[in-house]
Amino acid sequence: MKRYSDLTYKGKSAFVGVDVHRKRWDVTIVVEGAEIFGGSIPGSYESLKQMLCRVEGATITVVYEAGYFGYSLHDKVRKDGMACIVTPPSLIPQEYGNHIKTDRRDSRKLAHFAAKGLLKRVWVPSEAERGHRQVLRRRSQLIGDRVRTQNRIKAELRYYGIELDEPRGKWSKVYVENLRRLRLADRWSRESLDRLLEEYEFLSGQIVRQTTLLRELAETVEYREEIRLLQTIPGVGMIAAMHLVLELQDMSRFRNGEQLAAYVGLTPSQYSSADKIRLGRITRVGKNQLRGALVEVAWRLIVKDGRMRQVYEHLKVRTGAKRAIVAVARRTLLIMRRMLLDGQVYRPASLAQ
């Protein structure tokens, strides 16, 4: 049998499945349906490049799952002139009845599925776009951290048997000062609660700074015109508009409105058998925070736009308030798409296409 070093792969296609972890990567190389290599290597791109020398001359496609490790591997592979697929884990075909999962099996599946053309790929934003998007996502993370701190404070007060009226959303400075004036049993309890209040105030300050940074980004050449257009929609502020443009970026990459709605997770799930068709809840795949921002916009829009209010009331009778407002959010998303593609401001009688 010839060794791999004696073989030529010129003109052939090699598919490389990589199951990425911090210290070790499991790699499978498939050429024309045959496994050339399968095993573990040190977790670095340099080690992977050495492994790819086994199929020198072939057209190489590297595939790995989207997730924790981001797009740095994708960037390095593309820089070296090879193709790269970053595939969403939720859309990888599953083998019915197979309950065995190992890193080696995962890398084999990726390589073989890629060779058969069965894998979807995520859209990979540019390095600059990733940095811009992180401004928005860091703000959302800080808000989540502040909510968790609020919940810890409320839990501690209940532990001491203290019940207070709780304002919704962000606490005012007056409310926080009143919490500082509460009389607790001893110094130890008082100072322990103060640490939580200090954490809350620190996070509030960080959110203000991150919001300022987001506002500065919205005024840059890349986003200024798009944000101006979107803010002509009643109820759409700077933050909601930035959610849309930063999470979706190039709107022209979506062939139509249906594809965009599916990407955001605003498409109803469907269960069909024979002549029976049943539509269920929205799929909720994709962009959770963008979806939430669109629903908030929809609630404000039906107050300020009579046409959208009519749409909401009509759907509400048939489907209920929750499904009706989600339908309005979906329609609003499609209108936003049309506005950005055409460079047009919002018109109350706009129809989503």
Instruction: Give tens-digit pLDDT for 59-71.
Output: 999 999 999 999 9
List own/partner pairs for 201-209 with CB under 8 A and 24 or more apart. 201/176, 203/142, 203/145, 203/146, 203/149, 204/146, 204/170, 206/142, 207/139, 207/142, 207/143, 207/146
Q: Which residues pair with 282 in a beta bridge?
A: 268
Which residue is it, tokens 């048939």? Answer: 318
Residue 224 has pLDDT above 50, yes or no: yes
CB distance 46 to 24 below 8 Å: no
Residue 98 has pLDDT above 80, yes or no: no
Q: Give the DSSP H or E segment for 54.
A: none
For 195, the token pair is 């640490």
Indicate the pLDDT class of residue 279, thresholds 50, 70 and 90: very low
What is the pTM (predicted TM-score) of this model?
0.85
Indicate the pLDDT class of residue 169, thresholds 50, 70 and 90: confident
Indicate the pLDDT class of residue 99, thresholds 50, 70 and 90: low
Q: Which residues pair with 29 in a beta bridge?
A: 16, 37
Rounded Cα distance between 24 and 103, Å, is 10
Indicate the pLDDT class of residue 166, thresholds 50, 70 and 90: confident
What pLDDT score does 97 carry?
63
Q: How far is CA 306 from CA 57, 312, 313, 330, in A?
A: 64, 10, 10, 17
Rounded Cα distance between 289 and 292, Å, is 5
Residue 302 has pLDDT above 50, yes or no: yes
Strands 83-87, 59-65: pairing is parallel
Q: How far is CA 288 from CA 132, 294, 305, 321, in A?
A: 18, 10, 25, 20
What pLDDT score does 24 carry?
95
**Closest to 63 in 3D by CA, of 108, 127, 128, 5:** 108
Q: Give the DSSP H or E segment for 181.
A: none
Indicate the pLDDT class of residue 119, thresholds 50, 70 and 90: very high
Helix 173-180 vs helix 187-218: crossing angle, to nearest 10? 160
Computed over every residue of the chain, the mean pLDDT equals 89
